[in-house]
Structure 1
Amino acid sequence: MVNLQEVLETNKMVEEQTLDVRTITIGISLLECIDSDLKKVNENVYNRITTVAKDLDKVAKEIERDYGIPIVNRRISVTPIALVGGAACKKPEDFVTLAHTLDKAAEAVGANLIGGYSALVSKGMTTADEMLIRSIPQALCETQRVCSSVNLASTKTGINMDAVRLMGDILLQVADRSKDRDSVDCMKLVVFCNAPDDNPFMAGAFHGVTEADAIINVGVSGPGVVKKALEQVRGESFEVLCETIKKTAFKVTRVGQLVAQEASKRLGIPFGIIDLSLAPTPAIGDSVADILCEIGLEYAGAPGTTAALAMLNDQVKKGGVMASSYVGGLSGAFIPVSEDQGMINSVEAGAITLEKLEAMTCVCSVGLDMIAIPGDTPATTISGMIADEMALGMVNQKTTAARLIPVIGKGVGDTVEFGGLFGYAPIMPVNKFSCADFINRQGRIPAPIHSFKN
Structure 2
Amino acid sequence: MINMFEVNETNKMITQENLDVRTITLGISLLDCVDADLEVLNENIYRKITTVAKDLVATGQQIEREYGIPIVNKRISITPIAFVGGKACKCPEDYVSIAKTLDRAAKEVGVNFIGGYSALVSKGMTKSDENLIRSIPEALSVTERVCSSVNVGSTKCGINMDAVRLMGKIVKQAAEYTREQDSLGCAKLVVFCNAPDDNPFMAGAFHGVTEADAIINVGVSGPGVVKTALEQVRGESFEVLCETIKKTAFKVTRVGQLVAQEASRRLGIPFGIIDLSLAPTPAIGDSVADILCEIGLEHAGAPGTTAALALLNDQVKKGGVMASSYVGGLSGAFIPVSEDQGMINAVEAGALTLEKLEAMTCVCSVGLDMIAIPGKTSEATISGIIADEMAIGMVNQKTTAVRVIPVIGKDVGDMVEFGGLLGYAPVMPVNSFSCEAFVSRKGRIPAPIHSFKN
Calculate the TM-score normalised by the size of structure 2: 0.99
Distance 1:271 1:96 in 2: 31
Alignment of 1:131-150 (within 5 A): 131-150=131-150
Q: Is the 8 A contact 1:7 1:67 kept in 2?
A: no
Note the C-alpha offset of 1:5: 7.0
Residue 123 (1) aligns with residue 137 (2): no
Distance 1:4 1:397 in 2: 42
Alignment of 1:45-444 (within 5 A): 45-444=45-444
Give CA deviations for 1:323-372 in whole Å, capped at 9, x if unaligned: 01200000021100000000000000000100000000100122310000
Note the C-alpha offset of 1:240: 0.4
Distance verdict in 2 for CA 1:448–1:61, change over 3 Å:
same
Distance 1:208 1:172 in 2: 27
Distance verdict in 2 for CA 1:192–1:2, change over 3 Å:
farther
The alignment covers a number of residue pairs equal to 454
Give CA deviations for 1:239-273 in whole Å, capped at 9, x if unaligned: 00000000000000000000000000000000000
Distance 1:5 1:438 in 2: 59
Give CA deviations for 1:139-196 in whole Å, capped at 9, x if unaligned: 0000000000000000000000000000000011000011111101110000000000
Distance verdict in 2 for CA 1:6–1:207, change over 3 Å:
farther
Q: Is the 8 A contact 1:19 1:225 kept in 2?
A: yes
Q: Is the 8 A contact 2:313 2:365 kept in 1?
A: no
Q: Is the 8 A contact 1:2 1:254 kept in 2?
A: no
Give CA deviations for 1:366-396 in whole Å, capped at 9, x if unaligned: 2310000000001000000000000000000
Counterpart of 1:37 in structure 2: which amino acid?
D
Distance verdict in 2 for CA 1:243–1:411, change over 3 Å:
same
Q: Is the 8 A contact 1:152 1:160 kept in 2?
A: yes
Note the C-alpha offset of 1:7: 4.6
Counterpart of 1:397 in structure 2: which amino acid?
Q
Distance verdict in 2 for CA 1:60–1:7, change over 3 Å:
farther
Q: Which residue of 1 aligns with 2:23?
A: 23
Distance 2:414 2:330 in 1: 31
Counterpart of 2:395 in structure 1: which amino acid?
V
Distance 1:28 1:267 in 2: 13
Residue 447 (1) aligns with residue 447 (2): yes
Calculate the TM-score normalised by the size of structure 1: 0.99
Counterpart of 2:266 in structure 1: which amino acid?
R
Q: Is the 8 A contact 1:28 1:215 kept in 2?
A: yes
Q: How many percent identity over aligned positions? A: 81
Secondary structure of the 1:192 match is strand
Note the C-alpha offset of 1:223: 0.1
Secondary structure of the 1:275 match is strand
Structure 2 portions without partners, runs of 5+: none
Q: Is the 8 A contact 1:7 1:255 kept in 2?
A: no
Secondary structure of the 2:114 match is strand
Give CA deviations for 1:265-285 in whole Å, capped at 9, x if unaligned: 000000000000100000000
4+ residue runs over 4 A deviation: 1-8
Note the C-alpha offset of 1:9: 3.1
Distance 1:26 1:2 in 2: 28
Secondary structure of the 1:10 match is helix
Distance 1:214 1:330 in 2: 19
Q: Is the 8 A contact 1:365 1:401 kept in 2?
A: no
Note the C-alpha offset of 1:4: 8.4
Counterpart of 1:279 in structure 2: which amino acid?
A
Distance 2:5 2:201 in 1: 28
Coordinate RMSD, CA, aligned: 1.0
Distance verdict in 2 for CA 1:110–1:285, change over 3 Å:
same
Distance verdict in 2 for CA 1:83–1:97, change over 3 Å:
same
Counterpart of 1:364 in structure 2: which amino acid?
C
